[in-house]
Homo-oligomer: A and B are copies of this chain.
Amino acid sequence: MAKEQLVFQIDEKAAFKLDKAILGGKGYNLMVMKRLGLPVPIAFVVTTEACRRYLKDGRKFFKTLEKEIIENIKQLEKKTGRKFGTNDDPLLVSVRSGAPISMPGMMDTVLNLGLNNKNTESLKKVTKDGRFAYDCYRRFINMFGDVALEVKGEGENTFDGIVNQARKKAKVKTDAELTETDWQNVCYEFETLIKKESGIYVPQDPVKQLLLSIEAVFKSWNNQRAKTYRKLNGIDDSMGTAVVVQQMVFGNRDGNSASGVAFTRDPGNGEKRVFGEFLVKAQGEDVVAGIRTPLELAQMKEVYKKDSKEFKEDKKKYQKYNEAFKKNLQKFLSICNKLEKNYREMQDIEFTIESGTFYILQTRRGQRTAQAAVKIAMDMYKEKLTNRNESILMVDPASLDQLLHPIIDPKVKYKDRIITKGMPASPGAAVGIIVFDPDRVVKAVKDNSKAQVILVSDETKPDDIHGMSAAKGILTSRGGKTAHAAVVARGMGKPCIVACSSLQIDFKNRKVKVNGGEYKEGDWITIEGSLGEVIKGKLPLIMPKITGDFKTLLKWSDDICKANNGLYVRANADTPKDSRKAREMGARGIGLSRTEHMFMGERTELVAELILLITKPTELDKDEKKRKSSILKELLKLQYNDFIGIFKAMNGLPVTIRLIDPPLHEFLPEEEEIKERIEKAHHQPGGREAIKHLQSMRKRRGEFHEENPMLGLRGCRLGIRYPEINRMQIEAIFKAAVKVKNSGYKVHPEIMIPLSSTVAELEILHNMVDEIADEVFNKTGTKVSYLFGTMIEIPRAALVADELAIEAQFFSFGTNDLTQMGFGISRDDAEEKFLRYYVDKKILKENPFEKLDQKGIGKLMEIAIERGTSTRPDLKLGICGEHGGEPSSVEYCHTIGLEYVSCNPYRVPIARVAAAHAALKMKRKPPKSAKKKSAAKVKSTVAKKVKSKVKKVSPKKKAKK
């Protein structure tokens, strides 16, 4: 466009002409509605181009602009038939900022612009409502003073303060009770405040009001809050904002006026019926405020009943009004259809009827429940309003969480039975008896397999997992959304509430005080993990099922991904049970099986003893050697059986098994517990031996102490320093794989090394894996193909990914740890200490453990991918951090070229839909590793480049060493 478009009338002639970048979001939407022929109040837009020119050239340019604006006001006057600044039913306008991307922090809105001391009286005359007129005027002065003149005031001398005082003086509680005179006084005090603070009087000339407001909007583009918002959201600083100037319409003008809101379909369940409410002689905000009870839309057919006071008073007039409303309802219903056809989405519409004339003020995508979202998406497809892709995109993946967990039967009213609230940490509802100790939870379930238990504690730790696994839900008094309890519970798909600080647990006497009440172990409670509610007693639950529309949606999503080189979804699962759940949820493999989780519960004792032996600083004596080998054998058997179960459940799909990861001290009992056990042993026969053992355990525990265990001896460092457990695990994996293969299953193990940061580590462990695999294969005569790979979870690993890819056939991003180290934030500590504060204060846009920090941590991932594939073009890439189930992170994973995401089984459906969204939004080439038919068949097609780098010694030769 050669000529600058500075101001732009929204009318039929103009439609189609300009885009969002010029008109801003609000202006563009107005234009679209106009294009659809909808009755929108008349308006014009001062474009972003004008804003940009102003920010560059300042006041000098504004002079030019002024002329154009005045010209456009004249057009507005012509179209509305009203005059700006006249004393006879004057033209009033709203002034709104409207950037191309919606942006809080900028100057927002001035309503009722055009009023002044004189014509407020005339408005009073026209509307025969002085209270209304002065209320309008004070609103204008307030907004104009606040946003155009930046008047804030101090103490009681603020806009709000003045209204408060007025209420006090009038001895009323609500603004609605203030009279015309009260508002007149308020107007006067507002004007005084503005003069005092800004040094100028509120201009009486509407044109002046308008020009000042427009300039203020332009200036607000560069205020601190707006700049910060843009910085945090990566919005281009040079875009500028548009300003929308629009005729005001009043739903409270007279009895033939009304305001309302409506959804084109039921936002609760998705049913196809226009669903709305309205209030006669009211403004939009009154409908929402809930002071008067709104009427249902259907009642517009007959607003004034024959037996109503008004009807009786002036039958003719109200009959006419009734007819007008009825016609308007018809008109509106047909508009709803039009809008749905145009937007191909359920709409949320604001409308106003001014003296019988119908106006659409706004239409936008309607909020809805997950259930409604799925139904609407499918219905619209059936109605041929949308195609499959559009229907998929209509469903917000994150919302689906609602459909994947038990909920309290919505027919039950329970809010009066809520005991307390905590932080919602894992969604869904659970019912059970209170138990304060994980061991007793396990016992309760052992004694009665149908027992329903809620584990209630201050916090949880890794060796409570058996108890968490046996419980129906978890409730803790401390922690945050990323505390151990929260993370594990989400992994298990169990409802969990944390940081419920009103709980005062008396562990000794097995009871809990909360907000005055007291509950004993064994008392029934219900917890609602999506809302953080703890409710007294046993409420009826409804169990989730993936059926009907939801099932179809998931299938379509998978199809879309397949057809468009999208991601596929695996699950993080550590047990055969989890694996079956994963498959049920549609996982196409396991992306992370944490072998150490198999060491928890009853097996910890054994593991603890093993640790004492393998880390003994001096040589083992004969007895100890025997004991060590017997423990290893026992654990081997246990893990072997675990893997058999997992491989069978995952028949035909890849299973990524991560070797032991956490620091060893996590398997030893806590100091406190050791103390107790020593105390106990004193009173037992033969206790001396036990005490000695416990004391050496305590000593070793102390030796394992680390200032920063997160950065310590764990992951592959452990596997290299004390290789026994690794060796046992590798043997168990291959023995199980061979066994399962020989039973006719298809098995695709992928062995994954945690916490690597150098290629030397991977080389040592790759040799270990190959060696043990060959031994098992030689012994059994069966070969199983497998992959060797690594987590990328230390920043350095990303930076030397080209080296790591010499050994690793796949990378799986451990974004939890990568975030901890890359961001320098300890997940276990940070939430309370500063992270929540940071998010509240907008220092961080999001908790980076909830949504992947694309700018920082994401960059590390991109570096890893670029370097890794430079060595090995068919490197297989996935993610197994918690972010793998978070929709915005899933989309990012698609963008950077991962092959799959892996998340906890209960988030698999969410990830499947999110992956489809990503595939639809961004075309991409297929990841090289995924080109082969089966992902698990990739094995050993090592690129030529790698070959030249590392000519592997043959297994035989290695074995000899």
Report A's interface with B, CB cutoff 8 A.
222, 224, 227-228, 231-232, 237-238, 706-713, 717, 720-721, 755, 757-761, 763-764, 793-796, 799-800, 803, 806, 817, 820-826, 828-830, 833-834, 837-838, 842-844, 853, 855-857, 859-860, 948-951, 953
Top 3 A-B pairs ranked by shortest CB distance? A796-B856, A708-B826, A711-B826
Also in contact, A821 and B711, with CB within 8 A (given A237-B948, A843-B758):
yes
Chain B residues within 8 Å of A860, by CB: 795, 799
A669 vs B621: C-alpha distance in the bound complex, in angstroms?
43
Chain B residues within 8 Å of A826, by CB: 706-712
Within the complex, what minimum Cβ distance (angstroms) separates A107 from chain B?
A: 16
Do A757 and B794 have beta carbons less than 8 Å apart?
no
Do A712 and B829 have beta carbons less than 8 Å apart?
yes
Chain B residues within 8 Å of A717, by CB: 833-834, 838
Selected A-B contacts with CB under 8 Å, 7 pairs: A706-B829, A707-B829, A757-B823, A794-B822, A794-B823, A795-B821, A796-B857
Question: Can you add 4 more A-B contacts, CB < 8 Å, to A717-B834, A800-B856?
Answer: A707-B829, A711-B821, A713-B829, A821-B821
Do A825 and B711 have beta carbons less than 8 Å apart?
yes
A938 vs B758: C-alpha distance in the bound complex, in angstroms?
40
Chain B residues within 8 Å of A806, by CB: 231
A828 vs B707: C-alpha distance in the bound complex, in angstroms?
7
Which chain B residue has the least Cβ–Cβ distance from A822? B795
Also in contact, A760 and B844, with CB within 8 A (given A224-B953, A824-B795, A953-B224):
yes
Chain B residues within 8 Å of A822, by CB: 794-796, 799, 821
Do A761 and B843 have beta carbons less than 8 Å apart?
yes
Do B712 and A833 have beta carbons less than 8 Å apart?
yes
Interface centre among A758, A795, A817, A844, by most chain B C-beta atoms within 10 angstroms, is A795
Which chain B residue has the least Cβ–Cβ distance from A711? B826
How many copies of the shown chain assemble into the complex?
2
A795 vs B828: C-alpha distance in the bound complex, in angstroms?
19
A706 vs B825: C-alpha distance in the bound complex, in angstroms?
11
Also in contact, A709 and B706, with CB within 8 A (given A760-B232, A856-B796):
no
A874 vs B763: C-alpha distance in the bound complex, in angstroms?
43
Within the complex, what minimum Cβ distance (angstroms) separates A558 from chain B?
A: 34
Also in contact, A855 and B800, with CB within 8 A (given A842-B760, A844-B758):
yes
A124 vs B238: C-alpha distance in the bound complex, in angstroms?
92
Contact partner of A794 among B764, B824, B859, CB < 8 A? B824
Chain B residues within 8 Å of A228, by CB: 760, 763
Chain B residues within 8 Å of A757, by CB: 823-824, 856
Within the complex, what minimum Cβ distance (angstroms) separates A751 from chain B?
A: 19
Contact partner of A828 among B222, B237, B708, B830, CB < 8 A? B708
Within the complex, what minimum Cβ distance (angstroms) separates A191 from chain B?
A: 22
Do A829 and B237 have beta carbons less than 8 Å apart?
no
Which chain B residue has the least Cβ–Cβ distance from A706? B829
Do B834 and A721 have beta carbons less than 8 Å apart?
yes
Within the complex, what minimum Cβ distance (angstroms) separates A245 from chain B?
A: 27
Which chain B residue has the least Cβ–Cβ distance from A843? B760
Also in contact, A706 and B833, with CB within 8 A (given A856-B757, A953-B224):
yes
A758 vs B824: C-alpha distance in the bound complex, in angstroms?
11
Which chain B residue has the least Cβ–Cβ distance from A767? B224
Which chain B residue has the least Cβ–Cβ distance from A755? B824
Do B853 and A796 have beta carbons less than 8 Å apart?
yes
Chain B residues within 8 Å of A227, by CB: 950
A948 vs B230: C-alpha distance in the bound complex, in angstroms?
13
Chain B residues within 8 Å of A796, by CB: 822-824, 853, 856-857
Which chain B residue has the least Cβ–Cβ distance from A837? B721
Chain B residues within 8 Å of A843, by CB: 720, 758, 760-761, 764
Also in contact, A713 and B833, with CB within 8 A (given A843-B764, A948-B237):
yes
Chain B residues within 8 Å of A712, by CB: 825-826, 829-830, 833
Within the complex, what minimum Cβ distance (angstroms) separates A654 from chain B?
A: 27
Chain B residues within 8 Å of A834, by CB: 713, 717, 720-721
Which chain B residue has the least Cβ–Cβ distance from A948? B237
A800 vs B760: C-alpha distance in the bound complex, in angstroms?
30
Within the complex, what minimum Cβ distance (angstroms) separates A5 from chain B?
A: 24
